[in-house]
Structure 1
Amino acid sequence: MSYNNNTNVGRIVLMAGASLLSSAAWAQQEAPVALPQAEEALGLDEILVTARRRTESLQSVPVSVTALSNESLRAQSIQRVTDLTTTTPNLTVSNPNGSATSTIIAIRGQVQTDIISTLDPSVGTYVDGIYLARPYGANIDLVDVERVEVLKGPQGTLFGRNTTGGALNIITADPKMGEFSGLVRATYGNYEQTNGEVVLNVPLSDKISFRGAGQYAHNKGFAKNLFDGKRLGSDNSFSVRGKLRAQPADALDMVLSVSHFRVNQATNPQRLIEFEPGGIAEIYVGLVSGGTDDIANYVNLPFYQTSLGFPHKSYARATNAQLTSTLDTGIGTFKSIVGYRATDAHSSIDLDATPYQILDTRTRIKGFEQYSGELNLTSAAFNDKLVFTTGLFAFYESGNDGSSTIALPLFSPGTSDTYVDVTATSYAAYFQGTFSFTDQFSFTGGIRYSTDHKTMSPTVRNNVGTPLEACVLPIGFQGDNCRTTFKRRDNGVSYTAGLEYKPVAGILIYGKTSRGFRSGGFNQRGSTFIETFAGFEPEEVTDYELGFKSDLFDRRVRLNLAAFYSDYKNIQRSTPVALAGGAIGTIVGNAASGHVSGGEAELTVLVADELRLSGRAGYTNAKYDEYPYNQIDPLGVITVLDRSNEPFQNIPKWTLGGSINYNRTIGSGTFNAFIDYSYISKRYGLFGVRADDPDATAISASKVVMAGYGLISTRVSYAMDSGLELAVFARNLANKKYDDYKEDLVPFGLGLVNQQSAPPRRYGIEATYRF
């Protein structure tokens, strides 16, 4: 079956155009995170979320979701998506090795540790309703954000595409009609951190308003490269967004948004922490240096120092445009969301963490574009006993993704280059509704059907343009340009079903089950054998959850609990393998089955009007049930391994935290003091698999254990009635040294174990003027 890109785009445009002509919409309006309470009312503010694609109170939604307001993000000095790790139970957000512009998001044991374009993430990221298909450039600045919602568990119906683990829903501030307002913010901190932020809301007429936001961030870096004296861990980013909102009629609301994000970073330091005596790396350094140098000189350098002979940096830029139209009619609220995103990114990584070219790589994505259109209706029936949302979704993306590897050039001169052209088209239809039998008892059910079409056309060459040996073997490559095309089609049904019970006001008890579907894909980092390019199957997660939400003691105590169990089928897993020429690639395959169990607890207590305490806890226990794996060595020999006893990578068992917030009027202003503690238990980095010695796999895993760590963040501010606010802040106040990443290269013959250092203490001052 062939796929016509122009036809696919045309379908999306036609669908989007039809939805605009009908002024379609779903019902997420510009709603504040916290509703103001009457002066005589006490208790915690009501929090509004759109976890079910309509505006509802957090406490009435039968879904495990954490909502973070703009004020909460500011109090914790949250600047980027990766900073969200310290805010939510059972959530970790990190960078892949050497790519600080990308994200790896894990929720409840669901994670995908690779970021290739032929592999979809386990956790979906949405910005104002637009799905970000690729993690490249997804580590965006959270500038002028109204709130962030973390939805946990498979979002099989409403946020259905490739969200087997959950969804990160980012909602930016819409223009306010008839209001001239804004802010100017400046920040200065250690490591020459300088941030500037501007927000401006301007009414253009009674029916049109504009809101613009921009941010610039810079720091010189917290680590040093001894090889060239340059700094690592630096940051230079720029974000700008403009929104135009029009209300041509009382029932019609339209928002046009255009944004651009650019980041250029010298990534966190890669350090060599262990080597295998007599291994290839030690022999190679001796040969290249003529016996005058020893690899031991570069092992366990000070925590924020390294010696890299290859550039260690990453760059990304992304441009987004979307039109969101909302129309209230007699039959319900229609909404259309039409979006476009263009992304380019590249990075270079010194994997051996020495001045020598033992294993270095460059990655690049070029010309990646995505188009999406969604049309849905939120309405009610049967005298409002049934409230439902139904809709259609279409998506198309295309681009080029590639990598170039330098491995032991003394033995294998030149580079091994693999570049792939990829396309993906997805269509879906969904329905979800809640039927209230009584004021206390209700049922929620939903279903989504998805169909995904994907193609991959790889090109494999060496540095002088001569095809590799694989290209002349009868493995499907066509012509002199060493190129072929792989195609696949996956269909999936996702669903949700649950019961909700409200015994008294302020308490919700619910039980639900849901299924998430993540489409299959291809391996784009192939080598000399067709098996290394083979596809992998779709992944399915069936989740069971019991939850309890409550506002107690006149809404002075808020306690939310959830327990879950997930059956995990055809788990998509990335495994590093040795390739021809000494290179290392990552091959994605399917583990047969596994299960994840655990729970979350979130508690907020309003001790007094000025004092608020909160605590959070998450527990995740993830295990494989069956994991047969075909290990392919550089000569093409396949060995079947049992990997069911391996730990899940990058998944901590415990995520804990708590905060104290003191707020009081002093003089003509408001004093606020905030302190937060977060803890993440040990995790496993990337370890190797040894066919010749299964016990060596366990040894490899033990080498990449990242110890648990706790971080303290604090912010103290004073906001004057004049609009001026002054603040001091600190992240990692205790200056804890902890790992961002670990990788064991010993099983592949290189004899190296490397580590990436996370940032030390950051502190600074901040001035904000609001008008």
Structure 2
Amino acid sequence: MAAGGLIVLALPVGAQTTPDQPKADSGEVQSVVVTAQKRSQRLKDVPVALSVVNAEQLEKQGIRDLGDLAKSAASLEFGDQKTGGAGGSASIRGIGTAVFTTSAESSVGVVVDGVPLGNTAGGALFDMERVEVLRGPQGTLFGKSASAGVLNLVSKSPVLGRFGGFANVELSGGDVLGSKLGNTVVRGGLNVPLTDDSALRVTAHSDRQTGVYFNVFNNTDSATTGNGVRVRYLLKPDADLAINLIAEHDRSKATGATFFAPAIAYDSNTAGNHAPKAEFAACGVTVSLRNNTVCSDALELNTARVSGLSAQIDKTLANGLTLTSITAARERSTGPDSAAIDMSQGWDKVRTSDSTKDIRQFSQELRLSSPGKQEVDWVAGLFLSDYHSDKHIITTILPPPYVPSPPVPRSITNTADTVTDSRSAALFGQASFKLNEQFSALAGLRYTRDKVEDTQTQSSVVAFAPFTLPATIKTGSASITKSNLSGKVGLQAVLDKDTNVYATLSRGYKAPQIDNDTPMGLLTASGTTTGDIVKAEQPTSFELGLKTSLLNRRLDVDVALFRTTIKDFQEQNCTLTAIGALNCIPLNVPKVLSYGLELDLRARPMAGLTVNASSAVILGTEYPTGFQFDGQDVGGQRLLYSPKGKVTLGVEYTTGIFGDYEWSLGADVTYKTAVRLCNTLAPECSYQSHTIVGLRTGVRSPDDKWGVGLFVRNAGDERVPNAILYPLPGKGAGSGYAYSLGGNSFRSVGITADVKF
């Protein structure tokens, strides 16, 4: 995705303007229109805490996937998407769920063009009009998985009667101008009018990134590629009917992208049977906090394919009501994938192979909304979803090959097959009642009924050199049906055209999940057991907010105070066994509290200068006293991926040069306090407070048809991990820590170029 201070989209950017939009030279902050309440409203009029990242900002900051959004919204964080899945690792106000079990849902919903993605989310962001980050429970208006907030993504729609297109490219090379990564990013699209009342928009992307990991065993860099296309069709035969059809397909492939790189290795582990530091050194790995080298002879392959179809029909009825139908079908498939853990002693401790996961999801939303700007504005609807997941994985444990067999096995092969079905139905509605010219009352209600079923079969085969034991087969299954009533009440005061104060009390809900691993683990032989139920998560959130414009509309200020109490917070305890296998057990934390202050600023201090900033102070988000992970009392420790403080700042200055050419200079800064990334009491599980700086500059042609630019991201090359693992895989307790890295963990320096027509 192009950066360097360049506006590369050929069609209008996502921050829409209201009819009274000021001219460019007026010095006012542009008015932003959002659909956070299922209707178009000015951002400053919406009684919800939210941040908006428009198309221009997405391009300039080089935001190419969901995880990149964290540098534009202070309350938004992401964990490791290699384990959580795209979207599943998001947290808002310190509250999130890393989606690992197939029956789990994320606390943060991801919605694209009105379709809740659930566990079918794809990672790539391209040709987006805007992204709205809604904070706090949003279930009265959005589908599923919205107990902590929603990422509402809106792609660019076809434009009637206009032919145009764009293409842009971004290039950076490892060890070129100080860049630590190799990146090639290509974006392009066409808008084609078909008739007077219909148009087609086709956009595509192709990405390649190398150098996150370097494998000393075979002297190769990791490589990740992604390719995708989106086709949007718009038919608007009259002012009262609009039909939007969307088809998309995305593919990604990662080779050599191992799960971790050793960051801290001790001379000996607790048991004294490993010398981690020396073992890695013997394989050519110098362990340090900045290390990205690994040692593996495995293929290390990860693939994913995501497809989606949706149809949205909006019909304005004779009485002014709008009837909306959104029908969607999505699929996400991964694998066959393979990976290995720890080649540092000459053989792999654990291999996974033939790992596949196939997800199918169907959803239907039907809603009716009032015309807007009435004495009572309301939205009511029905939401249905049907989710099916089929997961298969083979894990092989390999003891030392030089040990006699028997008594030690040559291999232990575990095969696990998991089938999950989840069906949900909901009735929802929200209304605003105008009490007088200044005050309005808010009320929303949602009735949800979920049915979750999960069956898992495990087969374990122990092989010795001369013979193989009969397979041990275990089966676990469970089913739960749960109904819930959630909602929202509030009061809004419009002090003047540019000032809005609101107070809301919201109750959210996230469906229960099923744990079959724990009860099956208690079986000592073949058998059948019933899975454990992880109870539904229920947050209650109070929010007090102010939105206003100051200094002759040169400064927009949004302030929100919030306090959220979560009952039965859904957590997962993920640990590595002594041999390096990842073992994750879902569980409930009885009560979690999150409270704090958020501030969003949008400013235009002078002609050509724009400033966007957000900050969040998030307190609480701690485990209750006495709560334990692996026998350790973590009471008082913060939840994972929950910094106490975070600030984001974006500055852009543009001016004319050489006649009508435009020169731009921009900077992005993200500051974050220390954050816990693994669940032990050791300080090594936290990453220090840090600041990430990005810089860019560019030149655009007088007719705005082309531009070139330079950029640097993560200028200080801050080696921020996405996750921290303990202990070192394959090395046992007390061996050390490993970092899971990503593209944002390295400095990237490069060039951009774009054309529009």
Shift of 1:564: 0.5
Query: What SS does the corresponding residue of 2:740 show, helix, strand or coil?
Result: strand
Aligned to 1:753: 737
Contact kept in structure 2, 1:528 and 1:580, CA below 8 Å: no
Partner of residue 521 from structure 2, selected from 528, 552, 555: 528
Q: Mind listing any 5+ residue stretches in structure 2 that lack a counterpart?
A: 1-11, 175-181, 401-407, 524-528
Counterparts of 1:278-317 in structure 2 under 5 Å? 278-279=268-269, 283=273, 299-300=287-288, 303-317=291-305
Q: Distance in 2 between matches of 1:589 and 1:458?
A: 18
Counterparts of 1:278-427 in structure 2 under 5 Å? 278-279=268-269, 283=273, 299-300=287-288, 303-331=291-319, 332-346=321-335, 347-352=337-342, 354=344, 356-361=347-352, 364-380=355-371, 384-410=374-400, 411=408, 413-427=411-425
Q: Distance in 2 between matches of 1:647 and 1:470?
A: 45
One-letter code of the match for 2:717?
N
Partner of residue 72 from structure 1, selected from 57, 60, 67: 57
Contact kept in structure 2, 1:160 and 1:494, CA below 8 Å: no
Q: Distance in 2 between matches of 1:305 and 1:465?
A: 32
Q: Distance in 1 between matches of 2:570 and 2:601?
A: 34
Q: Distance in 1 between matches of 2:230 and 2:382?
A: 27
Q: Distance in 2 between matches of 1:154 and 1:284?
A: 47
Contact kept in structure 1, 2:280 and 2:286, CA below 8 Å: no
Partner of residue 169 from structure 2, selected from 160, 167, 186: 186
Partner of residue 437 from structure 1, selected from 435, 438, 443: 435
Query: What SS does the corresponding residue of 1:300 show, helix, strand or coil?
Result: coil
One-letter code of the match for 2:231?
G
Contact kept in structure 2, 1:525 and 1:585, CA below 8 Å: no
Alpha-carbon distance change, 393 to 101 in structure 1, aligned in 2, over 3 angstroms? closer
Aligned to 1:26: none
Counterparts of 1:439-454 in structure 2 under 5 Å? 439-454=437-452
Q: Percent identity?
A: 22
CA RMSD, 1 decimal: 3.2
One-letter code of the match for 2:364?
G
Aligned to 1:244: 233
Aligned to 2:459: 461
1:705 aligns with 2:703: no
One-letter code of the match for 2:521?
T
Alpha-carbon distance change, 46 to 646 in structure 1, aligned in 2, over 3 angstroms? same
1:515 aligns with 2:507: yes
Partner of residue 647 from structure 2, selected from 642, 653, 656: 656
One-letter code of the match for 2:439?
F
Shift of 1:323: 0.3
Contact kept in structure 2, 1:352 and 1:360, CA below 8 Å: no
The superposition leaves residues 425-457 of structure 1 with CA deviations (integer Å, 9 ceiling, x where unpaired) of: 000000100011122111111000111111111
Q: Distance in 2 between matches of 1:465 and 1:124?
A: 44
One-letter code of the match for 2:738?
N
Alpha-carbon distance change, 238 to 145 in structure 1, aligned in 2, over 3 angstroms? same
Q: Distance in 2 between matches of 1:351 and 1:154?
A: 39
1:676 aligns with 2:668: yes
Q: Mind listing any 5+ residue stretches in structure 1 that lack a counterpart?
A: 1-28, 473-480, 633-638, 688-696
Contact kept in structure 1, 2:263 and 2:290, CA below 8 Å: no
1:88 aligns with 2:79: no
1:49 aligns with 2:34: yes
The superposition leaves residues 11-59 of structure 1 with CA deviations (integer Å, 9 ceiling, x where unpaired) of: xxxxxxxxxxxxxxxxxx9975344534674411110101111110000
Contact kept in structure 1, 2:668 and 2:694, CA below 8 Å: yes
Counterparts of 1:568-647 in structure 2 under 5 Å? 568-576=566-574, 583-624=581-622, 626=624, 643-647=634-638
Number of residue pairs the alignment of both structures matches: 709
Q: Distance in 1 between matches of 2:300 and 2:619?
A: 35
Q: Distance in 1 between matches of 2:546 and 2:651?
A: 24
Contact kept in structure 2, 1:525 and 1:532, CA below 8 Å: no
1:258 aligns with 2:251: no
Q: Distance in 2 between matches of 1:281 and 1:315?
A: 37
Aligned to 1:488: 480
Aligned to 1:271: 261
One-letter code of the match for 1:181?
G
Q: Distance in 2 between matches of 1:652 and 1:470?
A: 49
Q: Which moved more, 1:515-524 or 1:68-77?
A: 515-524
Contact kept in structure 1, 2:477 and 2:530, CA below 8 Å: no
Contact kept in structure 2, 1:281 and 1:752, CA below 8 Å: no
Counterparts of 1:709-724 in structure 2 under 5 Å? 709-722=690-703, 723-724=705-706
Q: Distance in 1 between matches of 2:475 and 2:244?
A: 44
One-letter code of the match for 2:694?
S
Aligned to 2:147: 164
Shift of 1:193: 2.2
Shift of 1:399: 1.9
Give me the TM-score of the superposition, normalised by structure 1: 0.85
Shift of 1:421: 0.6
Q: Distance in 2 between matches of 1:594 and 1:507?
A: 33
Shift of 1:258: 0.2
One-letter code of the match for 1:251?
D
Q: Distance in 1 between matches of 2:661 and 2:440?
A: 46
One-letter code of the match for 1:208?
S
Contact kept in structure 1, 2:460 and 2:471, CA below 8 Å: no
The superposition leaves residues 268-315 of structure 1 with CA deviations (integer Å, 9 ceiling, x where unpaired) of: 6722233455548863689xx9x9986996643852323234444432
Shift of 1:656: 0.7
Contact kept in structure 2, 1:273 and 1:755, CA below 8 Å: yes
Give me the TM-score of the superposition, normalised by structure 2: 0.87
Counterparts of 1:551-566 in structure 2 under 5 Å? 551-566=549-564
One-letter code of the match for 1:71?
E
Alpha-carbon distance change, 125 to 728 in structure 1, aligned in 2, over 3 angstroms? same
Alpha-carbon distance change, 415 to 390 in structure 1, aligned in 2, over 3 angstroms? same
Alpha-carbon distance change, 528 to 679 in structure 1, aligned in 2, over 3 angstroms? same
One-letter code of the match for 2:708?
L
1:195 aligns with 2:190: no
Q: Distance in 1 between matches of 2:225 and 2:414?
A: 31
